[in-house]
């Protein structure tokens, strides 16, 4: 099994799709001037096109001259991990014939310097909050999430510490 995504710059406009063959010369868009030097910076806006046909507008984080309104690579990595953990959890719950009523995760990531002094995502916290039809103890819920983490393809692909915090919620 393999997967593919096309990352293109500049992003397509007005419904057109740019490819390496027809995108033409690099287009520069002034975003900001460097403290009086007059140097123009290149736009960080780009497009992520998935094999499913979905297209997502991307950019760098605002702190790195990107657009607040578009998805940045760090958010993409965080969402991939959170979604993978959730999908693993859903599979485990279904196999155990438990009834899950809702699942919500407000995942967070921190950018910092790694042991080599390079900028990296240094910490990720998943805080899944679940509502189960059948009450579970915190220990049972923690075991389900530990199993989900163990079987998450994305978590198994990351070399950094991943913190999983469990915030169970049960319907009464």
Provide the 3-class DSSP secondary structure of residue 104.
Answer: strand
Same domain, 158 and 80: yes
DSSP at 12: P
**CA 117/CA 113 separation, integer angstroms:** 5
Are 66 and 84 part of one and the same domain? Answer: no
| Residue 31, pLDDT above cutoff 80 | no
CATH of the domain at 96: 3.30.300.20
* Pair 41, 93 in one domain: no
How big is the chain by its Cα radius of gyration, in Å?
A: 20
Residues 66 and 89 in one domain: no
Domain span at 146 = 73-170
pLDDT band at 170 (very low <50, low <70, confident <90, very high): low
63 and 123: one domain?
Answer: no
The domain boundary residue, chosen from 71, 86, 101: 71
Q: DSSP letters of 63-86?
A: GGT--TTSB-HHHHHHHHHHHHHH
32/117: higher pLDDT: 117
Q: ∠ CA 59-120-41 to the nearest 5 degrees?
A: 35
Phi, psi of 146 (to 5 degrees): -65, -40
Final residue of a structural domain among 71, 98, 113? 71
Do 77 and 162 share a domain, yes or no?
yes
Beta strands in 15-172 (DSSP E): 46-50, 55-58, 100-105, 108-113, 119-126, 128-132, 162-164, 169-170
Q: How far apart are the first and last CA of the chain?
A: 42
> Are both 156 and 82 inside the same structural domain?
yes
Q: Let me know whether 123 and 148 are in one domain.
A: yes
Task: Please indicate, yes or no, whether residues 13 and 82 belong to a single structural domain of this protein.
Answer: no
* Structural domain total, the chain: 2
Could you tell me what percent of the chain has a pLDDT over 90?
Answer: 49
Residue from 99, 106, 164, 104 nearest 129 by CA:
104
The 8-class DSSP code of residue 133 comes to S
**34-77 pLDDT tens trace:** 445 454 678 999 999 999 999 999 999 999 999 999 999 999 99
């Amino acid at each position: 099994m393999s997967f593919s995504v096309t990352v293109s710059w500049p992003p397509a406009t007005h419904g057109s799709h740019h490819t390496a063959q027809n995108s033409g010369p690099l287009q520069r868009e002034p975003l900001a001037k460097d403290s009086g030097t007059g140097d123009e910076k290149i736009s960080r806006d780009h497009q992520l096109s998935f094999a499913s046909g979905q297209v997502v507008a991307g950019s760098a984080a605002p702190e790195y001259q990107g657009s607040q309104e578009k998805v940045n690579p760090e958010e993409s990595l965080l969402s991939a991990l959170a979604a993978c953990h959730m999908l693993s959890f859903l599979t485990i719950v279904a196999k155990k014939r438990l009834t899950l009523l809702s699942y919500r995760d407000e995942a967070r990531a921190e950018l910092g310097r790694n042991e080599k002094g390079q900028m990296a995502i240094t910490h990720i916290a998943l805080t899944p909050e679940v509502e189960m039809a059948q009450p579970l103890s915190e220990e049972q819920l923690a075991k389900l999430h530990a199993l989900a983490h163990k079987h998450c393809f994305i978590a198994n692909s990351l070399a950094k510490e991943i913190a999983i915090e469990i915030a169970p919620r049960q319907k009464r």
